[in-house]
């Protein structure tokens, strides 16, 4: 994972956050809020909610009204793996695995399929601060 890839991903303005939640104490909520505050278009993905604040929450990636540039995962590793196995790298190029959302097997699957992956403990919130977003 390189700083160049992180900058490249952060330059993309259409994101989906898998594991989005209305719980303001959770990191997924804070990621959605920060991205929106920085003028990103953000789609919330979580089958447990219909809305998060005034925003539609989609059941899965296939339900989104358009294809995001990047998907940020804030779910357990098994859920991340299940989703990654269904994704097409010809449609979505970038995957960001938040700390705790992946295992080595999931990273291997994603990279073998051809995705650009940020993992290894990099948090969107920390990286956005580092690059002044």
CATH number at residue 89: 3.40.50.720
Give me the mean pLDDT over the 112-130 stretch: 92
Give me the mean pLDDT over the 44-73 stretch: 96
Residue 4, C-beta contacts closer than 8 angstroms, at least 6 positions apart:
none
- For residues 17 and 124, is the Cβ–Cβ distance under 8 A? no
Q: What is the chain's mean pLDDT, rounded?
A: 95
Give me the mean pLDDT over the 109-123 stretch: 93
Residue matched to tokens 């278009």: 41
How far is the C-alpha of 32 from the C-alpha of 29, rounded, in Å? 5
Ramachandran quadrant class, 87 (left: phi over 0; alpha: psi -120 to 50; beta: rest): beta
To the nearest whole percent, how much of the chain has pLDDT over 70? 98
Virtual torsion, Cα 1, 78, 98, 22, nearest 10 deg: 160
Q: Domain of residue 21: give its range.
A: 3-130
- For residues 45 and 20, is the Cβ–Cβ distance under 8 A? yes
The answer to whether residue 133 scores a pLDDT higher than 70 is: no
- Domain count along the chain: 1
Angle at 45 between CA 43 and CA 4, to 5 degrees: 60
pLDDT at 1: 54
Q: Write a three-state SS string for 68-80.
A: CCEEEECCCHHHH
Confidence of residue 121 (pLDDT cuts 50, 70, 90): confident
Q: Tens of pLDDT along 16-56?
A: 999 999 999 999 999 999 999 999 999 999 999 999 988 99
Q: Read off the tokens for 129.
A: 């601060």
> Three-state SS for 13?
coil
- For residues 94 and 70, is the Cβ–Cβ distance under 8 A? yes
The answer to whether residue 2 scores a pLDDT higher than 90 is: no
């Amino acid at each position: 994972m390189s700083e160049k890839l992180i900058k490249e991903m952060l330059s993309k303005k259409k994101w989906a956050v898998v594991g989005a939640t209305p719980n303001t104490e959770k990191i997924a909520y804070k990621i959605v809020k920060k991205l929106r505050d920085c003028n990103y278009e953000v789609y919330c993905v979580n089958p447990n909610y219909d809305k998060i604040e005034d925003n539609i929450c989609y059941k899965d990636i296939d339900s989104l009204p358009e294809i995001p540039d990047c998907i940020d995962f804030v779910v357990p590793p098994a859920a991340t793996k299940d989703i990654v196995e269904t994704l097409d790298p010809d449609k979505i190029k970038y995957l960001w695995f938040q700390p705790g959302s992946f295992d080595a097997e999931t990273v291997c699957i994603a990279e073998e399929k051809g995705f650009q992956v940020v993992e290894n403990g990099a948090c969107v919130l920390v990286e956005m601060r580092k690059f002044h977003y």
